[in-house]
Structure formats: C-alpha cells, structure tokens
Amino acid sequence: MTSNKHSGTFVSVSETAILYMESKGEQSSQKQDIRSVKLTENKRRLRNTLIGAAVGAGVGAGIGAATSCSSDPCFFGRALGTAVGAVIVSLPGAAVGALLPTHNTIYRVNSH
C-alpha cells in the first residue's frame, strides 16, 4: 500500500469521495483510500507561543542557575544568571511555539 499526502482546501465530502482544491485544480480521493483527514488551524498560536516561552524560560533559568557563581566572590549572585538564562532561552522557545501548527483530525479510519 502506497502512502501519499495531499494538501489543499476542503471542498466537499460524499459517501464515496472527498473533494479538495489543490494548485492543480479540484481533486478527489476515494474514501476507501484515505486513512485520515487533518485540518490545520492557527487559532492556538498565542497559546503555543506562551507555552514555548515558559518552557524556554524554565530551561534557561535552570542552566543560568547551574552555571552562575562558579567563582568566589560572586558579585551578582545566582539570581542574575538565572534571570539572564531565562530571558535568553525563552525567545527561541517562543519562536518554536509560534511555529507549531495545530492539527484537528476530522476523519480517521480505524485500523483493522
């Protein structure tokens, strides 16, 4: 069995086929040949961005706390290293969160 991925804009569904619009024009696939249909949405982008930033901040804070104040005397304390690590690593975390798409499965065939 060959697995192919098709992307396009949903047009309609019937008892036997699913119609969608691709750059080549309207296409159809027989339902018996389809394992799943997923709808990609961006409605949770802010939530994903905030979660990514929070995870990145936590990781950065841990790294900053672990690597700061390795010499004596410690002028700024562990707090500065923790804060700097949190800020620096939260930015890539937010970017990753913003780029993650949300997929809702709207049709799936259970394996037999």
What is the DSSP code string of 36-94? EEEEEE-TTHHHHHHHHHHHHHHHHHHHHHHHS--SSS-SSHHHHHHHHHHHHHHHHHH
Q: pLDDT tens digit string along 13-55?
A: 888 888 888 888 898 888 888 888 887 776 788 888 999 999 9
| Domain co-membership, 50 together with 94 | yes
| Domain co-membership, 58 together with 72 | yes
At residue 32, the 3 state secondary structure works out as helix
| Domain co-membership, 53 together with 81 | yes
Residues in contact with 82: Cβ distance below 8 Å, sequence separation at least 6, in sequence order: 61, 64, 65, 68
Model pTM? 0.54
Question: Measured at the alpha carbon of residue 76, what is the angle toward residues 59 and 73, in degrees to the nearest 5?
Answer: 115
Tally of domains within the chain: 2
Does 71 reside within a domain? yes
Does 77 reside within a domain? yes
- Residue span of the structural domain in which 27 resides: 9-41+102-108
